[in-house]
Amino acid sequence: MASSPLTPSTSRIEVLDYVRGLAIIHIILYHYFMEWFHGSFLIVPEGVAANMSRLEMFHDGGVLGFVKNMFGFLWVYGFFSVNLFLVLSGFVLTYSALKNEIRLIDDVRPVTFFDNMRVLFVFYWKKMKRVLIPLYISILIGIGFLYLRNVLFPSLGGAPIYTGFDVLKLFFVPLLVFDIPFLQKFNGDLWFITLILQVYILFPLLYRGLKSFGVWKFLALLFAITVGFRYLITYQGLSSPMGVIADAPHSYRLFSFFLPRLVEFGFGMGLAYLFLTGKDVLVKMSGWRGFLGGVALALTGFVFDMYRWGWPYADLMAAVGLFVVFLNIGVLFAKVELMRRVMVFLSDSSYENFLLHHYFLNYFLMPLLLVGGLIRESVFWLMMPVFVVGSVGIGWAAQKIGAKLG
């Protein structure tokens, strides 16, 4: 292990593994709360006072009720952690490019047009494999879980696949937009695939922009684009990309998934650039001051989500704040060997865990509890670790299969 998790160990910065591991657990438990409480805790754009009662899921009263509700509040905040994967992707891609582990269009040594095309092809090929192989494995597993649900719980079952054309749509990944209504019936989390493919395609252009403008001008430009687009969605748009909060009568029809999230990805890119130019940005974010600053920023983003005027900024603030919070928690975990190993394990299969936990929860665990009449609070706490371990185990197995195929 490196002397500090905030410094590179070969080509890997260990603390980023901890952030990734915490983010995937945050997302997994968020969906657990979502299914159990049917999203009753989701905030509405009516101000802080109107949302306080919505965040109170356990009604024991006293110290026990307070502790349980505080625990719940930590996890119902999990929908913001999806943005952390954009921050991490921006960081890792830029770090690798600047270290010449992934060599993109070279602006120092003279190269030909065909050299550039070859380098770009290799870059895109590697990224597409990393995204699509686990996706296809997860789709096959998901279809299996659908059929298993129909066999084990026929009262809750339905047609697993509607037509042969629907099966083909699951394996065809357009770069602009999925068939969202269909995917919502199968696995609504797959909207993220369209987003990550789009930012990967844009990365060479963004990388050149970062090197041309410098970090601060680059981030200012992305901030203006993102906030401007989000204002358009919030106040003028008739639809919104998946995962972007907005009152849209025809939601999720916009093709552009990347525009409202450029800041999170660009933030990761900027951090990597500063990190490699000796600015010690990760060290400066660590410590109690960094942790408290991250908490304050994340909570401010959460509060902004309770107001329509705050929607354009909420995700951006929450993503940056949570990144700093998880980075500091990761530094503490690095001091305990068992926790370090657990976080690295979770990080290695985080993408597969993201793709697969939906199936285990929605097509096996929740139907089992519903049929057994076990939807009560005592079972909620007992099943939480079962769900986490089951989801992580399936994700780990899929990661091993994908590694052999890739």
Distance of CA 360 to the CA centre of its chain: 18
pLDDT digits (tens, 9 = 90+) for 184-207: 778 888 888 888 999 999 999 999
12, β-bridge pairs:
9
Confidence of residue 120 (pLDDT cuts 50, 70, 90): confident
Query: CA–CA separation, 120 vs 113, rounded Å?
Result: 11
Q: State yes or no: pLDDT of 247 exceeds 90.
A: no
One DSSP character per residue, 23-35 reads HHHHHHHHHHHHH
Confidence of residue 10 (pLDDT cuts 50, 70, 90): low
Query: CA–CA separation, 27 vs 30, rounded Å?
Result: 5
- Dihedral of CA atoms 357, 363, 364, 365 in degrees, nearest 10, equals 70
Average pLDDT over residues 278-296: 92
Average pLDDT over residues 346-360: 95
Please give the residue that has the higher pLDDT: either 249 or 145: 145
Burial of 233 (0-12, 13-18, 19+ CB in 10 A): buried
Query: CA–CA separation, 341 vs 34, rounded Å?
Result: 29
Q: What is the DSSP letter of 236?
A: T
Identify the residue whose tokens are 């079952």: 157
One DSSP character per residue, 193-213 reads HHHHHHHHHHHHHHHHHHHHH
pLDDT value, residue 1: 42
Nearest to 272 by CA among 222, 331, 215: 215
Query: CA–CA separation, 299 vs 43, rounded Å?
Result: 13
Residues 250 and 180 sit within 8 Å (Cβ to Cβ): no
Distance of CA 253 to the CA centre of its chain: 21
Confidence of residue 147 (pLDDT cuts 50, 70, 90): confident
Residues 93 and 104 sit within 8 Å (Cβ to Cβ): no
Q: Name residues whose C-beta falls within 8 Å of residue 303's C-beta, 6 or more positions apart in sequence.
A: 48, 310
* pTM of the predicted model as reported, rounded to 2 decimal places: 0.91
9, β-bridge pairs:
12
Angle made by CA atoms 330, 336, 341, in degrees to the nearest 5: 75
Confidence of residue 365 (pLDDT cuts 50, 70, 90): very high
Instruction: Compute φ and ψ for 153, nearest 5 degrees.
Output: -130, 70
Record the tokens describing residue 348, joined without a space: 């290695």
Query: CA–CA separation, 384 vs 66, rounded Å?
Result: 19
Identify the residue whose tokens are 């992707």: 89
pLDDT value, residue 2: 45
Nearest to 399 by CA among 195, 265, 391, 365: 391
Average pLDDT over residues 33-41: 89
Where is average pLDDT lowest: 48-62, 169-183, 290-304?
A: 169-183
- For the chain, give the percent of residues with pLDDT over 70: 88
pLDDT value, residue 174: 66
Query: CA–CA separation, 294 vs 280, rounded Å?
Result: 17
Q: State yes or no: pLDDT of 151 exceeds 70.
A: yes
Confidence of residue 252 (pLDDT cuts 50, 70, 90): low
Nearest to 27 by CA among 375, 316, 353, 291: 353
- For the chain, give the percent of residues with pLDDT over 90: 54
pLDDT digits (tens, 9 = 90+) for 205-237: 999 999 999 999 999 999 999 999 999 888 887
Identity of the highest mean pLDDT range in 72-81, 186-195, 255-264, 316-325? 316-325
8, β-bridge pairs:
13
Q: Hey, is 12 helix, strand or coil?
A: strand
pLDDT value, residue 388: 96
Instruction: Compute φ and ψ for 9, nearest 5 degrees.
Output: -115, 105
Query: CA–CA separation, 300 vs 11, rounded Å?
Result: 34
pLDDT digits (tens, 9 = 90+) for 122-138: 888 888 999 999 999 99
pLDDT value, residue 108: 47
Record the tokens describing residue 288, joined without a space: 């109690």
Q: State yes or no: pLDDT of 8 exceeds 60.
A: yes
Average pLDDT over residues 353-379: 93
Q: What is the mean pLDDT of the chain?
A: 86
